[in-house]
Chain A
Amino acid sequence: MKFWDWPFTFEILPMLAWASLVTLEATILGFAIAAVLGLAFAIGRMFGPAWLSVPLAGFIEFIRSTPLLIQIFFLFFVFPEFGISLPAMTAGVMALGLHYATYCSEVYRAGLANIARGQWEACTALNLTAFHTFRDVIIPQAIPPIVPALGNYFVALFKDTPLLSAIAVLELMQTAKIIGSDNFRYTEPITIVGLIFLIFSLAAAGLIRLVEMRLNRRIRRA
């Protein structure tokens, strides 16, 4: 048996390319949830009333201190016990989003805490509502400095998507496993999946740098 089988490689490539779309979809949806929910967590924890901020802090700590895999299993296998049955992809994306939201919320917290007091006071003096204060003044200034940190979590979330194979989501890892067990050849599928992750990670890092540079330009101008 050859170490590397090229015809087999080209045979499985389309399947893996297709699966990589599922991985990308899980990454993008998961991170969208993490980015929005993380901001909500941060604001609720920093500015919410005690009945909200205290339980929220506990919840965030809880999610951060337990493995993502357990959370994925919980959403997929335990939620049905409460009458909530989610498709594997949905449960997986929600678990990824929730888990990374707790990390993102810490990043947002740092960003929000860095806004000068004078900016808040100007908003009060101009009579802006809390909503407009956040949407137009605070958040646009809080986000650019934390884009690199958020970007790191984007890549980390991407690299955690193989965990979804544990609940049989047909993403890259699961597809590679199926190809491997069907053909008794794991070298090609696993190697290709690793390469695809490498390429996407590098591309994402480049993209983040680009966003960062554009934002920095705007800040320097501002």
Chain B
Amino acid sequence: MTDIAKGPAPAAAPTGSPMVRFDQVTKSYGAFVVLDQLELDVAAGEKVAIIGPSGSGKTTVLRMLMTLEPINGGVIWVDGEPLTSMRRNGALVPADARHLRRMRGKIGMVFQHFNLFPHMTALKNCMEAPCTVLGLSKAESEARGRELLVMVGLGDKLQHYPAQLSGGQQQRVAIARALAMRPKVMLFDEVTSALDPELVGEVLNVIRKLGAELDLTMLMVTHQMGFAKEFADRVCFFYGGKICEQGPPAKLFGSPENERTRQFLRAVLEAT
């Protein structure tokens, strides 16, 4: 398995420095190793789907990238710079708050449970960070929030509170809120898993639209194999804290090489 994980870079990855690089990244909780020397390069503009059984470390990969979890070893590179450390006199030292904030600005994340601010309207949810973090004026951030909410199909729900919206609508607000910070990398962690089946499509449609219209690098953890197949440039199958197999969706879904991948895909297909 290890040799596959560390095998040659997939065909989809272009030359030049990647937008995101996990370099021997290790993450453990106590003695329990969640991710073991993870190696993963994601090119600018690439859309990577992360699949795998529950507990295989998929969420952890995204959370480390969003700086929500500290890492125990290795280096994560984003846009050519180390994420949680910085160069000082040639050596890598732990990043200070300023560096972390600058790096975080390149990344946006959408959560499984939306995590919208319940006391703010959809529009206010999208304005908060542009106002306070980017220093945009109220009018500018309002225009930006309005534009993005229109883009996700919620132009008529600007003044609604999260509790007044369906799950699918809330998740679309969350996507607009993340986009309002103009990130280069977007992380999606099972963004349709908490939704009723009939609401999944509207959220996937929005993600398709982002893929087509915006120049974003995307990492998405998903159980929607059909969507991964059609949307992703590359699919990574995680198993036991490692990338067990990865490749273009046609290859990975069509003729998986690894027995574990085959087992997982069989199980998922049976469930649906």
Contact = CB atoms under 8 A, between A and B. Distances in A.
A222 B163 contact: yes
12 contacts: A119-B115, A121-B66, A125-B66, A125-B111, A125-B178, A126-B133, A126-B177, A126-B181, A129-B101, A140-B119, A141-B117, A220-B163
A124 B133 contact: no
Interface stretch (B3-11, B36-44, B102-110, B144-152): B102-110
Contact of B115 (A122, A128, A141): A122
Nearest to B124: A136
A127 B104 contact: yes
Interface string A128-140: 1100100011001
A218 interface: yes
A221 interface: yes
A221 B164 contact: yes
A117 to B, nearest CB: 9
Contacts of A124: 66-68, 104
A128 B128 contact: yes
A118 to B, nearest CB: 4
B118 interface: yes
Nearest to B103: A127
Given A126-B177, A127-B133, A129-B133, A141 B118 contact: yes
A127 B115 CA distance: 14
B129 interface: yes
A137 B111 contact: no
- Which of B66, B107, B111, B115 gathers the greatest number of chain A CB atoms within 10 Å? B115
What band does the interface of chain B fall in when counting residues whose beta carbon is under 8 Å from A?
20 to 34
Given A125-B178, A126-B181, A141 B129 contact: no
A56 B116 CA distance: 33
B258 interface: no
A137 B119 CA distance: 8
A121 B128 contact: no
B167 interface: no
B179 to A, nearest CB: 11
Nearest to B105: A127
A148 B101 CA distance: 38
B152 to A, nearest CB: 17
B262 interface: no
A118 B115 contact: yes
Nearest to B107: A125
Contacts of B137: none
A121 B68 CA distance: 7
Contact of A126 (B129, B162, B163): B129
Q: Which 5 A-B pairs have the closest CB atoms?
A: A118-B115, A126-B129, A122-B115, A125-B109, A132-B132
B161 interface: yes
B113 interface: yes
A136 B67 contact: no
Interface in A185-222: 218-222
Interface in A95-152: 116, 118-119, 121-122, 124-129, 132, 136-137, 140-141
Contacts of A118: 111, 113, 115
A128 B161 contact: no
Contacts of B104: 124-125, 127
Given A119-B117, A222-B118, A127 B181 contact: yes
A218 B119 contact: yes
A122 to B, nearest CB: 4
Contacts of B118: 141, 219, 222
B141 to A, nearest CB: 12
A141 B178 contact: no
Contacts of B68: 121, 124-125
Given A122-B117, A125-B66, A222-B118, 14 more contacts: A121-B66, A121-B68, A125-B107, A125-B178, A126-B178, A127-B101, A127-B104, A128-B132, A137-B128, A141-B117, A218-B119, A219-B118, A220-B163, A221-B163
